[in-house]
Amino acid sequence: MNNNSETLIVGLAQIAPVWLNRDATVAKVVDYIEQANQQNCQLVVFGEALIPGYPFWLERTDGARFNSQVQKDFHAVYLDQAIQIEAGHLAPICDAAKEHDIAVYVGTIERAADRGGHSLYCSLVFIDSSGSIQSIHRKLMPTYEERLAWSPGDGHGLRVHQLNPFTVGALNCWENWMPLARTALYAQGEDLHVAVWPGARRTTIDITRFMALEGRSFVVSVSGLMRKSDIPQTIAHYDAMMSGSEDVLADGGSCVAAPDGSWVLEPIVGHEQLAVVTIDYRRVREERQNFDPVGHYARPDVTQLFVNRERQGVAWFRDEADRS
């Protein structure tokens, strides 16, 4: 990357997963990274929980029913198809990022080995242009029925990264509504915010512009897409899940707002697309003149935020060999 450039070319990959198929979805992500490279993108972003997909069955198959065999069947498949960083499941994406010198944010469902390997986290992974995983942000609070499938995350991934002149940070879906989570990123100098979603224009159309105005930053919202035709008929309990289901389960809504709240890219609805925008850092400097949420318009003598970025665990072990 040209670190002297004032601009950044960003790709928004609004795509559907190959639902509940980790390896096929990873291959699709790699294909879109290659497409983004052809359009000279320096950053490409994919939606929330894309690999291996969002748990759409929960609200369609009585997901809160305790000890349900239907829910156990879905959960077993979800666990099997979730990613584990330590197992190298994202290696093809890392290799593509390195080959094409492009940074990547990708939403995943993580079967976290450091939490026993059988609970799931909605994890947003940042891979830099050298192909190295730099942060794994586990969603702080799953939303509503998501709590039936996903575990609460922690603050370890509340980190920012340097991309050309921009400082980029990211949050999953409704944690973008959490003022203190946003502030944790602002305080680290964020001026490019990435928000990832499973896919809904009704969700992105207001908050994208609001966050841009609040942070005086560019905000890139990237959504997934899911249509009835994207649900494989081979899955167990297909008929139960699809009974009465609408044709479009997630309609997209990917968009970009500038630091003054104006649209750079209005929400894209209803189809897969790699949208490409060029953003100019000068716009950040202009809008910070009258408001800077953690700079000249902050009062740390009155209010401060404490952020715990320790990766949370259940047990800490000290062996005999650890003694010095």
Half-sphere exposure of 214 (CA within 13 A, CB side): 18
In the block, residue with structure tokens 């960083």: 85
In the block, residue with structure tokens 């630091």: 259
CA separation for the pair 80, 76 (Å, rounded): 6
Residue 11 has which token pair?
């790709």
CA separation for the pair 21, 29 (Å, rounded): 12
CA separation for the pair 33, 116 (Å, rounded): 32
Residue 228 has which token pair?
């009835």
Q: Which of 253, 272, 257, 145 is nearest to 204 (CA)?
A: 253
- Cβ(234)–Cβ(83) under 8 Å? no
* Sheet of strand 133-138: strand arrangement: 133-138, 120-127, 103-111, 43-46, 7-14, 273-280
Q: What is the largest CA-CA distance in the chain?
A: 64
CA separation for the pair 87, 102 (Å, rounded): 23
Active site residues: 48, 139, 173
- Cβ(296)–Cβ(25) under 8 Å? no
CA separation for the pair 68, 90 (Å, rounded): 32
Q: State yes or no: cis peptide before 52, omega within 30 of 0.
A: yes
CA separation for the pair 198, 211 (Å, rounded): 18
Backbone angles phi, psi at 288, to 5 degrees: -75, -10
